Chain A
Amino acid sequence: MSDCSQSMGQVIQIRKGKDVSEKEKEETALQSKKPAHAKTNSIQQIRYVCAIGAMHSASAIPRVIPITHCGPGCADKQFMNLAFYNGFQGGGYGGGAVVPSTNQSESEVVFGGEDRLRGLIESSQKILDADLFVVVTGCISDLVGDDVGAVVRDFQKQAVPVVFAETGGFRGNNFTGHELVARGIIDQYVGEYNGPRTAGMVNVWSLLPYHNTFWRGDLTEIKRVLEGVGFEVNILFGPGSRGVSEWKNIPKAQFNLVLSPWLGLQTAQHLERKYGQPFLHLPVIPIGARETSAFLRAVVAFAGVDAAKAEEFIRSEEDIYYNYLETFSDFYSEYWWGLPAKFVVVGDSGYNLALTKFLVNQLGIIPGKQIVTENPPDEYRDFIRAQYRNIAEDVSTDVEFEEDSYRIHKLIRETDFGHKPPIIFGTTWERDLAKEMKSAIIEVGFPASYEVVLSRSYVGYRGALTLLEKIYTTAVGASA
């Protein structure tokens, strides 16, 4: 890391001597006739956190514990907000607000924090029972230029299971932090591999643990349906993962499956370079029988596994699913007191696209407004837009990218939804807006402070049924 941070230190020096007139020019530019409520740097009511939030990607792996090398509040902040007031998911075995932390103080800012980190890694081995420790860094370490890599490598040389990722908050958000953590574990722990591949074994890179409120149930369902059609699944995160042994198996897999609009692509590309392992990218996380069956057929075709066996599983799942839908249709076609006709989705692209597909294609609800909030890297945005343009054969819609809730709410307020208010799939931030618009609200993403979520899933065959229950219980619950 140190190379980058040290050069950062130098640039900070340069900054202090920055030409004043240049600075003034910038200021004038900023002030000059900005249209009212135009997009600025401001983010009100946050929808993602910073890269060190990916400490949760470590603690999402069974028996892996993060070691946070950061200020005294960072671990608590990330936990309380991503994992507590977001579905009240909880910290689990080795996570939570009280993961090891250097709680950096002024002296580490002035003199550096490498010794302190060394002491913490050493004592963590003594006290905590973990299969792997993942050191993640905060702003302080990354700014003062601690050589965290050197500290961690010393332990690795003694065969201590510890890796690191530089996740200073200014470097990016918890989505990019997630890929840094995954890459850190792959490069520093999984290591080189020249052995054979196992046909039918797949590594799944999909939802962002903890940030997605329903990730545990969803990954479990994704694993279940992939196993159902005959795959051996390394789900990697959550209760369905076998922990580090599964990560050790990553290079043995036949291929990687990236099941999200963009998250996980960098990891898959890295694995392709590192192990020559191919990957399949499917941007739509499947909700409902139609999408899930299509998803399974695509994966089966890519992997070249037994299609007949897969069809058998698909048929039996569809039988169950459509049996429930058949009974649901009484309600859906006969309910007297009105159901939502249009919808708004505000959330990260993964769930946003998945929900839009399901609501349009399988329920026939009309898209009102789709706003993607996780600030996807620029290079993926056209790809994401294209997905919305082709949401169904006869339905094309637009998507907007916005992270600042003030502007998000303004966009929604300014939309004409016709004669009745839309149903909003959003977050706690939309609660007051929904009240104002007399809309129903379903909290489907971070932060979901009014949901308690354990194993609930909204994806696949089974999750879709739960989602239907949630949507229409909310709708009916608001009736007289």
Chain B
Amino acid sequence: MKINFDTPVVKSREQRLGTIIAWDGRASELSSQSEYARSNCASGCGEKGRRLCEMKGPFTQGSVCSEQMVECQAGNVRDAVLIQHSPIGCGAGQVIYNSIYRNGLAMRNLPVENLRLISTNLQEEDMVFGGADKLEQSIRDAWERHQPKAIFIATSCAAGIIGDDVDGSAKKMQGELGIPVIPLHCEGFMSKHWSTGFDATQHGIMRQIVRKNPKKQEDLVNVINLWGGDVFTPMLKELGLRVNYVVDLATVEDLAQLSEAAATVGFCHTLSSYMAAGLEQEFGVPEIKAPQPYGFAGTDAWLRELARVTHREEQAEAYIAREHARVKPRVEELRKLLKGKKGFVSTGSAYAHGLIAVLRELGIEVEGSLVFHHDPVYDSQDPRQDTLSYLVDNYGDVPAFSVSNRQQYQFYGLLQRVKPDFIIIRHNGLAPLASRLGIPAAPLGDEHHALGYQGIINLGETILEILAHKKFHEDLASHVKLPYKKWWLEQKDPFLLLR
């Protein structure tokens, strides 16, 4: 299915890929029910992701919205400004994404500064008369204050419902200022899963920033990531390749040259799927269709495919051999230290598939895990990107594999099923519950932490560190009460209310 870049509004994940947010079973079942359907899916399968059976129930806890993902991507472009066309409450996110931006800049050795997000501060009268004037004023303010190379606009539930013509305002202001003014349609209600916000950002970048007549740079590789530390530069240097990190902490020029690269990679298909497929479709920049770079097998396969596409096979083989020799001794030690430990991964979808592989490389048992959503297929629809099947085939099944959209009330029962020694998380909301049960969490703020060969060691060391925290959590657990009723805590089935 071709991605449509002609319209300003991105198609949501559920429309494009058949994304679900609630499911319970074995990883192998989910993989065989997903659209890739290993046996009969060649590249380009299906019109749309298969409609997986998704559960629904009356009780839900706070999720995350697409606009937040726009903030944490478009809002972290270094020489752009993001306008939040919304009441002031959506602007709350400026605080967390500022902290992330500052820490991200520091990790990449860039000058630390506050981010540049401006709220149009819509009020009651704007709900009646519309907010276009305020939007245009804020765009002018952004220009007057920062002379940015581009201005992004994040829409909001309120702006969407009152029907402000954000596209019209953007077009007008783009004419007036002579820089790209890019509407990103990300009303919270438009998608049940926040990852649509990644796509909304990437859609706008593809339409209005990426150079349409690229001059190829044969040694440039796009890395679609967040704010993680710079682990790709040293790795790709071994292959004589340069890194183009996008979207966070990038400059507008970095975004413009996306179309000139020799290949596109990512750390997680959930994040990179849309733009990587789009760049291949529109500009012939190949997306590396391989397992993600986690664990020995995944990283080997990923490097080999990248080397094949960029014609650097020899360097890759030498690098792979060197790295195996370098990390294996410590990995062996870590395996001994972590023997018998049980882990539980609760992160975004494709990322979790990679992390479970790393845990198993370390000899850690993973009987259960959860992902916040599941995409039955990614935008490329290429079975070589079927990360869940790759996990099941190469590292074994996960018997208790759940899709749960950060639903803490279910998390209790999920942990009871497998009683892990620790959990791995990224998004907030689940670790506090685990803590009150005496279970420590490893929060992976740097998304590259577990990536590649070194990532196996990194994750192992981190797990050792957080296992030591167990003393804190167990002490706490014996002194606090959970907010859930006894009846609920006694239920064996975390999905009871959804069946």
Contacts and interface: CB of A to CB of B under 8 A. Distances in A.
Given A170-B87, A170-B126, A127 B60 contact: no
A108 interface: yes
Contact of A43 (B61, B68, B118, B497): B118
B483 A129 contact: yes
A447 interface: yes
B93 A101 contact: no
A80 B116 contact: no
A140 B65 CA distance: 13
A27 B135 CA distance: 11
Interface centre among B66, B92, B123 (most CB of A within 10 A): B92
A76 B130 contact: no
Given A37-B145, A104-B189, A81 B96 contact: yes
B58 A122 contact: yes
A455 B155 CA distance: 38
B240 interface: no
Given A18-B129, A85-B99, A101-B63, A74 B58 contact: no
B321 interface: no
A73 B154 CA distance: 14
B137 to A, nearest CB: 5
Contacts of A31: 140
Nearest to B406: A98
Contact of B114 (A37, A40, A45, A144): A45
B136 interface: yes
Contacts of B133: 23, 26-27, 30
Nearest to A118: B58
Nearest to B163: A16
Interface residues of A, number: 89
Contacts of A123: 57-59, 497
A77 interface: yes
Nearest to A41: B134
Contacts of A46: 88, 91-92, 94-95, 119
A101 B61 contact: yes
A80 B99 CA distance: 11
A369 B161 CA distance: 41
A303 interface: no
B472 interface: no
Contacts of A75: 61-62
B161 A143 contact: yes
A139 B158 contact: yes
A169 B86 contact: yes
A157 interface: no
A12 B59 CA distance: 32
Nearest to A90: B432
Contacts of B99: 85, 428, 449
Contact of A72 (B63, B130, B142): B63
Contacts of A387: none
A77 B161 contact: no
B481 interface: yes
Given A40-B138, A41-B137, A91-B432, A432 B114 contact: yes
A149 B137 CA distance: 37
A95 to B, nearest CB: 9
Contact of B63 (A37, A103, A428): A103
Contacts of A79: 62
B92 A77 contact: yes
Interface stretch (B30-38, B201-209, B395-403, B484-492): B484-492
Interface in A11-33: 11-12, 14-16, 18, 23, 26-27, 30-31
A126 B68 contact: no
A23 B133 CA distance: 9
A80 B128 CA distance: 30
B144 A53 contact: no
A73 B92 CA distance: 11
B192 interface: yes
Interface string B39-75: 0000000000000000001111111111110000000
Interface in A64-103: 65, 68, 71-82, 84-86, 90-91, 93-94, 96-103
B161 A71 contact: no
Contacts of A8: 127-128
B60 A102 contact: yes
A463 to B, nearest CB: 24
Interface in B93-152: 93-96, 98-99, 112-114, 116-124, 126-130, 133-134, 136-138, 140-142, 144-145
B409 interface: yes
Interface in B157-184: 157-158, 161-163
Contacts of A49: 88-89, 91-92
A16 B113 CA distance: 41
A138 to B, nearest CB: 7
Nearest to A125: B485
A14 B163 CA distance: 13
Contacts of A44: 116-119, 141, 145
A475 interface: no
B420 interface: no
Interface string B396-434: 000000000011110000000000000000001110100
B492 to A, nearest CB: 15
Nearest to A140: B157
B359 interface: no
B194 interface: yes
B485 A128 contact: yes
B90 A406 contact: no
Contacts of B60: 100-103, 120
Contacts of A86: 95
A205 interface: no
B291 interface: no
A128 B486 CA distance: 9
A30 B120 contact: no
Contacts of A171: 124
A105 B189 contact: yes
B59 A143 contact: no
Given A73-B65, A101-B61, A53 B488 contact: no
27 contacts: A8-B128, A15-B129, A41-B137, A45-B117, A46-B95, A49-B91, A53-B92, A65-B483, A71-B188, A73-B90, A76-B65, A81-B93, A85-B95, A104-B188, A120-B60, A127-B485, A127-B497, A128-B484, A130-B483, A139-B87, A139-B161, A144-B161, A168-B158, A169-B89, A173-B88, A406-B145, A432-B114
The 4 closest A-B pairs by CB, nearest first: A73-B65, A50-B89, A75-B62, A71-B188
Interface of A: 8, 11-12, 14-16, 18, 23, 26-27, 30-31, 36-37, 40-46, 48-53, 65, 68, 71-82, 84-86, 90-91, 93-94, 96-106, 108-109, 119-120, 122-124, 126-130, 138-140, 143-144, 168-171, 173, 406, 428-429, 431-432, 446-447, 449
Given A44-B116, A105-B192, A170-B158, 7 more contacts: A27-B133, A76-B64, A80-B95, A81-B96, A84-B428, A85-B95, A123-B57
